[in-house]
Amino acid sequence: MKFSKLSQLFLVSGLGLSVAALISACDIITVDYVYVASSAGSGSGGAGKIDIFAADSASGALRPIDTAVSSGGIDPVSIIVDTAYANLYAANAGSDLVAHFAIGLDGGLTIQKDSASLTTQPVAIAVNAADTYLYAVSGTSSATLTAFPLTAGALGSAVSAASFKLPTYPSDVIIPTGVSVLANNSAVFVSAYDQSAYNPGGTTTSTANPGWVFGFAVGSNGSLTEVSGSPWKAGIKPSAIVSDPTNRYVYVTDYASNDMVAYTVLDGNTLAFLPNGPFRTGNEPSAITIDPRGRFMYLTNQLDNSVSAYTIDLASGTPTSVVNSTGSSTNSTEAEPVALIVDPALGQYVYTANYYGSSVTGFVLDATAGSLKPVQASPYPTDSKPTSITAIPHGNHATQVTDN
């Protein structure tokens, strides 16, 4: 077949565009898989969803890589992955269970037959660094911490459970809000508030301090024993809790006081207040995380639709607010950020799950200063009303200091 010069020009142009598109596609290197749980019409007839995204290594931009999968129940409130990045667990408040998923090499999720049943609604879950136990805090009228053994990722039957009581107010209603396990697996800490003493819009029957952190030592058989001195005061309404990678500090956000309470870990499982706290946050802090290096901390401010950034003094544990290079300390998100993570591969990106925005907002983390700037094309749409977010690295990466 013969081609005219014009036809040849179109052919060459078309081939050039195809090659350019192919090169651009090849330039997209996935550094993390990001998972977002959404309530997606929770209720008696609804079910939860988990969206799966791939994060671009160069920009942090997210792209969906598969259709959303069922969370294994109704109204997922917390999702986490194990430290082997081979398993994902979803706590479903509407089903009173924790579902287990195997994570494929392509980031896909496959639900497993094992699950953990609870007698009350789960609020938050955590897996210890050894991947030997999953801890679930549950209850809307009575708080319980339950330990489930993990065998090659599979959930076993509960081996221990602990209830929450204030020594001088044993009949008060304690509502759990978060759980954190020390990296050395020596203790589990739970944030909670006393609904009998703090109940906006309702009646109160107690004069106890409203906010608390409960601490439990972990035995070799998984047993949970409340440690001496527990519980410790934690403001008015603790909303989230995190411990640093060195097992030395614990931080709790206080939703009602708009601040953060910080503690030093003593003797492996007891807490003492940092002397210069509490530390100011934005309005209604709702979630908190620490980057893999243990140098920076980030929290979501639910009312302000923002993320606050802090540097952590490694010697004292003191957090100091970070101001961006633009002179602003505000990092805006869409409506009601309720969960956030730092990417586990490079520690270079921060993502928030925005409940009323039905989206994820992404930021680039300056690993020298800890400041944030928006990821390109952010925010990214999710299913309805996301509640939790987690991620795994894709491939082998070193968490390092990079300039952005």
Per-residue pLDDT averaged across 159-180, rounded? 96
When mean pLDDT is compared across 116-120, 219-223, 237-241, the lowest value belongs to 219-223
Q: What is the 3-state secondary structure (H, E, C) of the chain?
A: CCCCHHHHHHHHHHHHHHHHHHHHHHHCCEEEEEEEEECCCCCCCCCCEEEEEEEECCCCCEEECCCCEECCCCCEEEEEECCCCCEEEEEECCCCEEEEEEECCCCCEEEEEEEEECCCCEEEEEECCCCCEEEEEECCCCCEEEEEEEECCEECCCCEEEECCECCECCCCEEEEEEEECCCCCEEEEEEEECCCCCCCCCCCCCCCCEEEEEEEECCCCCEEECCCCCEECCCCEEEEEECCCCCEEEEEECCCCEEEEEEEECCCEEEECCCCCEECCCCEEEEEECCCCCEEEEEECCCCEEEEEEECCCCCCEEECCCCCCCCCEECCCCEEEEEECCCCCCEEEEEECCCCEEEEEEECCCCCCEEECCCCCEECCCCEEEEEEEECCCCCCCCCCC
In this prediction, what percent of the chain has a pLDDT beyond 70?
89
Q: Name the nearest CA neighbour of 265 among 293, 295, 244.
A: 244
Phi, psi (degrees; rounded to nearest 5) at 237:
-135, 85
* pTM for this predicted structure: 0.90
pLDDT at 162 over 60: yes
What local confidence, expressed as pLDDT, does residue 330 receive?
83
Chain segment 3-13, per-residue pLDDT in tens: 343 344 333 34
Instruction: Give the pLDDT band of residue 1 (cuts 50, 70, 90).
Output: very low
pLDDT at 68 over 60: yes
Per-residue pLDDT averaged across 5-30, rounded? 45
Out of 2.130.10.10, 2.30.30.240, 2.40.40.20, 3.40.50.720, the CATH code matching 31-393 is: 2.130.10.10
Per-residue pLDDT averaged across 85-102, rounded? 97
Please name the amino acid found at residue 354: N
How many Cβ atoms are within 10 Å of 29's Cβ, its own excluded? 12
User: What's the CA gap between 116 and 262, in Å, rounded?
Assistant: 32
pLDDT at 238 over 70: yes
Q: Do residues 264 and 275 touch, judged by C-beta distance below 8 A?
A: no
Chain segment 119-132, per-residue pLDDT in tens: 999 999 999 999 99
What local confidence, expressed as pLDDT, does residue 335 receive?
97
Instruction: Give the pLDDT band of residue 39 (cuts 50, 70, 90).
Output: confident
The token pair at 163 is: 């209830």
User: What's the CA gap between 106 and 325, in Å, rounded?
Assistant: 37
The token pair at 60 is: 């942090």
Chain segment 272-323, per-residue pLDDT in tens: 999 899 999 999 999 999 999 999 999 999 999 999 999 999 999 999 999 8
Chain segment 312-328, per-residue pLDDT in tens: 999 999 999 998 877 77
